[in-house]
Amino acid sequence: MDPAVFEEWMMISLVSLLIGFMGFIVWDLAKQSKAGRFGTLILFVVLGLGVMAFVIKSVAVAVIEGG
């Protein structure tokens, strides 16, 4: 297997694992602090914006490199 392909697969899988773990941390934080539905929603929206920025950056880099 080519090292570049291996690095790409590992980055995708490990970043996905990190995002899932951060989601668990946010859920646990909201539960322990008794944030309620609105507070939990705000916490996940902020986390979601960070994840979306990562995805948008990856798509933009792929478009620039491919074009």
pLDDT one-digit tens code per residue, 1-36: 889 899 989 988 998 899 899 899 999 999 999 999
The four Cα atoms 26, 28, 29, 30 give a dihedral, to 10 degrees, of 90
For residue 8, the model assigns a pLDDT of 87
For residue 47, the model assigns a pLDDT of 85
- Indicate the pTM of the whole model: 0.70
Joined together, the tokens standing for residue 26 give 């946010």
48 vs 28, residue with greater confidence: 28
Residue 67 pLDDT > 70: no
User: What is the mean predicted confidence (pLDDT) over 44-66?
Assistant: 89
The four Cα atoms 33, 34, 38, 40 give a dihedral, to 10 degrees, of 50
